[in-house]
């Protein structure tokens, strides 16, 4: 584990970032003073846009599952991009690619959603091995996109542990131009590496399974607080979904109030970590 990364500011890390999506994200975090990503998992485009508009001032990143939107049409993308400009954040389509290189390249670039054309960041499981990164990079790298690998999951009984997690870190290490970090529950630098390899590593750690009021759901999700994730586990970005919009996706004032609260909690923990 390299001790330096967690105590370096987002702004300092932005200056060293080689991947454009990672750099933009870190710069946005520093500028807006937020390490909050909101995961907007709703099925109507009207709700999706209203929630993004409500939480926009408080986030560095909006995470989407575009394939759950029932009334999707291509005009939605332009509307999402208007909100990106209005509020100064970037998009992360949580596609969790998991196929051979040729197939994921098509899934990323084509079809109805054309993910690579609008989403700055996406993610992939490492089950297929290095070919999945090669396939996604063939589309994403020329566009300046970044990839996160799922090194761990938040769910009870997750199989992404031990040598699987270490293998994910090794794959990231070999593809640092495109792989910008991990979906994980703790820091990953140095995992499975000698001290030399670990010394200049800087991977973004994005952590889902965050909630202030709940311990989990009925389907295996497990929640920790922003403070635990950022201060104790060294996470860089907290991903919050139902903790913000869960009780009523139409209660826009309550949603923006909750986003502000998560932003404040996340930032406070980060500032404490720096000193
Ligand atoms: O390990 C994971 C990885 C991800 S990307 N656990 C997760 O929960 N996620 C995603 O984060 C999940 O797909 C969902 O979109 C979000 C968590 O939502 P919440 O409502 O439980 O906060």
pLDDT digits (tens, 9 = 90+) for 23-57: 999 999 999 999 999 999 999 999 999 999 999 99
User: What mean pLDDT is predicted for residues 225-253?
Assistant: 96
In tens, the pLDDT along 14-25 reads: 999 999 999 999
What residues have CB less than 8 Å from 39, skipping those under 6 apart? 63, 64, 65, 94, 208, 239, 240, 241
Both structure tokens of 86:
């209005």
Of 99, 114, 134, 268, the active-site residue reads: 99
Q: Quick check: is 128 in a domain?
A: yes
- Quick check: is 96 catalytic? yes
- Across the chain, what does the average pLDDT equal? 96
User: What mean pLDDT is predicted for residues 252-259?
Assistant: 97
Q: Which residue has the tokens 């690998």?
A: 149
Q: Does the pLDDT value for residue 135 go beyond 50?
A: yes
Instruction: Count the domains in the chain.
Output: 1
**Does the CB atom of residue 256 touch ligand 1 within 6 A?**
no
* Helix residue spans in the chain (DSSP H): 4-7, 10-16, 20-32, 45-55, 75-87, 101-109, 115-118, 131-140, 162-174, 195-199, 226-227, 242-245, 252-274
Task: Please indicate if the annotation marks 79 as binding a ligand.
Answer: no
**Does the CB atom of residue 146 touch ligand 1 within 6 A?**
no
Task: Please indicate if the annotation marks 221 as binding a ligand.
Answer: yes
User: What mean pLDDT is predicted for residues 105-109?
Assistant: 99
CATH of the domain at 105: 3.20.20.70
Per DSSP, the residues of 131-181 read HHHHHHHHHHGGGT-EEEEE---SSTT-S--HHHHHHHHHHHHHTTTTEEE
CA distance 261 to 114: 33
CA distance 40 to 205: 19
User: What mean pLDDT is predicted for residues 117-133?
Assistant: 98
Q: Quick check: is 68 in a domain?
A: yes
Q: Range of 77's domain?
A: 10-274
Tell me, in angstroms, the distance from the centre of ligand 1 to residue 62's CA.
13
Of 94, 202, 236, 258, the active-site residue reads: 94
pLDDT higher for 251 or 198?
251
Dihedral pair phi/psi, residue 242, rounded to 5°: -65, -20
In tens, the pLDDT along 171-189 reads: 999 999 999 999 999 999 9
Task: Please indicate if the annotation marks 242 as binding a ligand.
Answer: yes
Q: Quick check: is 214 in a domain?
A: yes
Nearest to 173 by CA among 149, 154, 157: 149
Q: What percent of the chain has pLDDT over 70?
A: 97
CA distance 81 to 83: 5
Ligand 1 mutation target, pool 40, 42, 154, most atoms within 8 A of CB: 154
Nearest to 58 by CA among 240, 261, 260, 268: 260
Q: Quick check: is 270 in a domain?
A: yes
Give, using CA atoms, the residue closest to atom 13 of ligand 1.
94
Task: Please indicate if the annotation marks 199 as binding a ligand.
Answer: no
Q: Quick check: is 159 in a domain?
A: yes
User: What mean pLDDT is predicted for residues 192-196?
Assistant: 76
Both structure tokens of 16:
């060293």
Give, using CA atoms, the residue closest to atom 18 of ligand 1.
241
User: What mean pLDDT is predicted for residues 191-208?
Assistant: 85
Instruction: Give the confidence band of 1 by pLDDT, cuts at 50, 70, 90.
Output: very low
- Quick check: is 88 catalytic? no
Q: Does the pLDDT value for residue 118 go beyond 90?
A: yes
Neighbours of 125 (CB within 10 A): 18
Tell me, in angstroms, the distance from the centre of ligand 1 to residue 22's CA.
20
Q: Does the pLDDT value for residue 101 go beyond 50?
A: yes
Q: Quick check: is 4 in a domain?
A: no
Q: Quick check: is 95 in a domain?
A: yes
Q: Quick check: is 253 in a domain?
A: yes
Tell me, in angstroms, the distance from the centre of ligand 1 to residue 153's CA.
8
Nearest to 114 by CA among 89, 134, 141, 95: 95
pTM: 0.97
Instruction: Give the confidence band of 2 by pLDDT, cuts at 50, 70, 90.
Output: very low
Instruction: Give the confidence band of 3 by pLDDT, cuts at 50, 70, 90.
Output: low
User: What mean pLDDT is predicted for residues 1-12?
Assistant: 80
- Quick check: is 94 catalytic? yes
Q: Does the pLDDT value for residue 205 go beyond 80?
A: yes
Q: Does the pLDDT value for residue 162 go beyond 50?
A: yes
């Amino acid at each position: 584990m390299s001790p330096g990364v967690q105590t370096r500011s987002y702004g300092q890390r932005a200056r060293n970032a080689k991947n454009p999506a990672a750099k933009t994200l870190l710069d946005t975090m520093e500028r807006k003073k937020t390490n909050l990503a909101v995961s907007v998992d709703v099925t109507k485009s009207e709700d999706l846009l209203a929630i993004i508009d409500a939480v926009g001032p408080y986030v560095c990143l909006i995470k989407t599952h575009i394939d759950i939107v029932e009334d999707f049409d291509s005009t939605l993308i332009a509307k999402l991009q208007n909100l990106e400009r209005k509020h100064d954040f970037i998009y992360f389509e949580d596609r969790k690619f998991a196929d051979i290189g040729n197939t994921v390249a098509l899934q990323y670039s084509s079809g109805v959603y054309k993910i690579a054309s609008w989403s700055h960041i996406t993610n992939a499981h490492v089950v297929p091995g290095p070919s999945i990164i090669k396939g996604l990079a063939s589309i994403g790298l020329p566009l300046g996109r970044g990839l996160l690998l799922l090194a761990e999951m938040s769910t009870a009984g997750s199989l992404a542990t031990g040598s699987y997690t270490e293998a994910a870190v090794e794959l990231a290490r070999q593809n640092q131009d495109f792989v910008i970090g991990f979906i994980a529950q703790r820091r990953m630098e140095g995992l499975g590496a000698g001290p030399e390899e670990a010394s200049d590593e800087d991977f973004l750690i994005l952590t889902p399974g965050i909630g202030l009021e709940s311990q989990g759901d009925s389907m295996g999700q497990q929640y920790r607080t922003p403070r635990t994730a950022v201060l104790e586990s060294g996470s860089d970005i907290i991903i919050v979904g139902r903790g913000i919009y869960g009780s009523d996706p139409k209660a826009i004032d309550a949603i923006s109030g909750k986003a502000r609260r998560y932003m404040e909690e996340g930032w406070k923990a980060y500032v404490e970590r720096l000193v």
